[in-house]
Structure 1
Amino acid sequence: MLNKALVLSSIIFFTLQAQVGVAQEPEVKITEKLAEVKVKHNGQTVIIKRNQDQQNRIDEDFALTSRACPPFCLQPMNLLPGVKTIGELEMLDFLKRKAAGDDSILIIDSRTPDWVSKGTIPSAVNIPWTKLFPQSSSFEPLEVEGILTLRFGASVVDTIWDFSHAKTLVMFCNGPWCGQSPTNIKALVSMGYPAHKIYWYRGGMQAWHAAGLTTVNP
């Protein structure tokens, strides 16, 4: 009886181990070798992974194929000389580097708060395009100076902007038809921000949702 009980216990143990192993191995990975990325968002650990429901559909906010142009016109792949356009894997690499302690990287959601409230990429900070665009009613020169110095790491030397220690900015908005991050990028470059320190995730939230990747609410 003791041997039978031992055998039964062993079978149960290994069965449970196998089940745990299956649970830990997602069917829908990010890449063949990458299942998830851990980041910090507002002090909390967030695991970025793809939705495991293989019948999942894109969020309704991003299901529309057509919006009036202007203003919702398709953006070019190469926005400005020096500014690099990236995809999901490059964005995830920036997120990993930032999570590992690289303070020189800042992930920026350029959308207005009403859009951000529906969900954003984990660890992104919200700096709406309306804050940096000179023609916006929300534009305040002193506030812009604060953003450039306190958040982006730029400085002013003898009334001249110094961007030598400025952060690498990774910017995004709603998708290829969205002009909010392009407006932010163009405004920054016009102020003298180095184009090579700016990366643009053109696919934005539409592509992020289409890939089934994790989002967070503010």
Structure 2
Amino acid sequence: MKSKTIALIFASMMMLCATTSYALKVNIVDGLPYVDVDVNGENIRIQRIQDTNHKLKNSYTRTSRPTPPFYIQPFQPIEGVKTVTELDVIRFIKNEVSENEGVLIDARMPKWYRNGTIPGALNVPFSILYGQKDDPFVEKIFSVFGAEKGEGSWDFSDAQTLLIFDNGPWCQQGVEEMKNLIRLGYPKEKILYYRGGMQFWQILGLTTIKPRAIEE
């Protein structure tokens, strides 16, 4: 009787999952309607907007911006730094960020970040990394990333992998951030670049959040 009850419960759970999957019109990929991630102890569901008539109404609908400065960025702007897709970003949040083994970095200026960002992203504006290795801001940031300061240099052996993004292919804030990090010694093999940025993320209808204000 007990085994029969367990079997019924399991079957009900499977039916519920199947119903949820079929209920969504817009999935991430085939068989994957959403991904639940843990961000600072809070469960956030990443999925796509279900309204198939939905259109963006913000600045990401624009096709053209003054150039300079908004040049189209190369697919791989820095040799040795891997460019990743939306699916890679989702996996990174689910695995590395949730397990505190990686940092998702929004390289944009704070006003952009406050208007909405990718779940789990930490705002490290590219401009604050223009300093030198002994700059107090740089030291604080590198410590957060898991690097250890030694005699006149940084040890990046246990430093976390960084996945960096900005507004999109026309934005150079993320590229500037990566250049600054590499100049300061951060290993290229520990840096990933999401070229699509917020524009591609929102065009695909993926979940965004407005970060909470940090109280000092």
TM-score range, shorter chain: 0.7 to 0.9
Show the counterpart of 1:145: 139
Q: CA deviation at 1:71?
A: 1.1
Show the counterpart of 2:164: 171
Show the counterpart of 1:129: 126
Q: d(CA) in 2 for partners of 1:51 and 1:82?
A: 34
SS in structure 1 at match of 2:51: coil
Residue 200 in 1 paired to residue 193 in 2?
A: yes
Residue 104 in 1 paired to residue 101 in 2?
A: yes
Q: d(CA) in 2 for partners of 1:81 and 1:44?
A: 36
Q: CA deviation at 1:191?
A: 1.0
Structure 1, unaligned stretches of length 5 or more?
Answer: 1-16
Residue 180 in 1 paired to residue 173 in 2?
A: yes
CA shift digits 1:85-140 (9 cap, x unpaired): 01101111101103652x221001111111111110001111111111249xxx99
Q: d(CA) in 1 for partners of 2:97 and 2:190?
A: 19
Show the counterpart of 1:38: 36
Q: CA deviation at 1:162?
A: 1.1
- With the length of structure 2 as denominator, give the TM-score of the two structures: 0.84
Equivalent of 2:89 in 80, 88, 91:
91
Whichever residue aligns with residue 143 of structure 1, its letter is F
SS in structure 2 at match of 1:107: strand
Q: CA deviation at 1:23?
A: 7.8
Q: d(CA) in 2 for partners of 1:30 and 1:193?
A: 33
Q: d(CA) in 1 for partners of 2:73 and 2:43?
A: 33
Whichever residue aligns with residue 118 of structure 2, its letter is I
Bigger Rg over Cα: 1
Q: CA deviation at 1:43?
A: 3.5
Show the counterpart of 2:5: none
Are residues 162 and 119 of structure 1, via their aligned partners in 2, closer, same or farther at CA, if it must alter by over 3 Å? same
- With the length of structure 1 as denominator, give the TM-score of the two structures: 0.83
% identity of equivalent residues: 41
SS in structure 2 at match of 1:176: coil
Q: d(CA) in 2 for partners of 1:211 and 1:84?
A: 22
SS in structure 2 at match of 1:117: helix
Aligned residues: 196
Structure 2, unaligned stretches of length 5 or more?
Answer: 1-14, 212-216
Are residues 70 and 140 of structure 1, via their aligned partners in 2, closer, same or farther at CA, if it must alter by over 3 Å? farther
SS in structure 2 at match of 1:94: helix
After TM superposition, the structure 1 stretch with the greater mean CA deviation from structure 2, 124-133 or 139-148, is 139-148
Alignment RMSD: 2.2
